[in-house]
Amino acid sequence: MKLFIDTADVDEIRQAAAMGVLDGVTTNPSLIAKTGRPFEEVVKEICSMIPGPVSAECMSTDAEDLIEEGRRIAEIADNIAVKVPLTVDGLRATKALSADGVKVNVTLCFHPVQALLAAKAGATYVSPFVGRLDDITTDGMGLIADIVTIFDNYDFPTEVLVASIRHPIHVLEAARLGAHVSTIPYKVIAQLANHPLTDIGIERFLADWRKSQQSA
């Protein structure tokens, strides 16, 4: 499973990349707004930091505007994936942009049949939001299981990009289900690496080593 970081904060991206675990980046308008920086400047910087795909989201809602904006965003760098919403207009834009050879990430997916349409329209990625479904007492990971089954049934090349991840169990379940990508906030990436028994083990080894009075 590929691991993307879900952030527009370049320091967080640098730290995750240094861990050697980063395959790509996803941003959204809320994450870009949090940086306080202009959209194009921050997206260009992120694209120069990692070779993998960087998702940058269109703000238009109408198909023609989405296509025009998507083409403009795709010009920013070779590793851009243009994000469009999972609406009728978004699907029209997905068809047009993917025909141009642009990588399209269809976002805000909350139902398996929406994902089926995104795959039919030529999406490179579809982004189901698991955390936001859990928030309304609906099984977010059940959505991932359904989409993975449907895509496998028909050999769709569209990748399932699990988004709105809130904790390590979401990542574990995504990997168990065979999702192609998880996009994860930096805080959760750090949580994945941590285990209390690892910390206790290090302390014990260090204490025993000190007792032996040897030097490394």
Regarding 177 and contact with ligand G3P (CB under 6 A), the answer is no
Provide the terminal-to-terminal Cα distance of the chain, rounded to the nearest Å: 37
User: Residue by residue, what is the 3-state secondary structure of 18-79?
Assistant: HCCCCCEEECCHHHHHHHCCCHHHHHHHHHHHCCCCEEEECCCCCHHHHHHHHHHHHCCCCC
Q: Which of 83, 95, 120, 187 is catalytic?
A: 83
Structure tokens that stand for 102 in this block? 């642009």
| Cβ nearer to ligand G3P, comparing 130 with 148 | 130
CA distance 125 to 107: 8
- Pairing between β-strand 159-162 and β-strand 24-26 as defined by DSSP bridges: unpaired
- What is the separation of C-alpha 33 from the centre of its chain, rounded to a whole number of angstroms? 18
Q: Which of 3, 5, 12, 26 binds ligand G3P (CB under 6 A)?
A: 26
Regarding 7 and contact with ligand G3P (CB under 6 A), the answer is no
Regarding 29 and contact with ligand G3P (CB under 6 A), the answer is no
Q: Which of 132, 145, 168, 180 binds ligand G3P (CB under 6 A)?
A: 132
Q: List, as one string, the DSSP characters of 152-203.
A: HHHT---EEEEBS--SHHHHHHHHHHT-SEEEE-HHHHHHHH--HHHHHHHH
Give the count of residues interacting with ligand G3P (CB under 6 A).
9
Minimum distance from residue 190 beta carbon to ligand G3P (Å)? 16
Residue 103 annotated as catalytic: no
Which range binds ligand G3P by CB under 6 A, 126-134, 138-146, 198-206, 207-215? 126-134
| Cβ nearer to ligand G3P, comparing 2 with 132 | 132
Regarding 168 and contact with ligand G3P (CB under 6 A), the answer is no
Regarding 129 and contact with ligand G3P (CB under 6 A), the answer is yes
Regarding 105 and contact with ligand G3P (CB under 6 A), the answer is no
Q: Which residues are catalytic?
A: 83
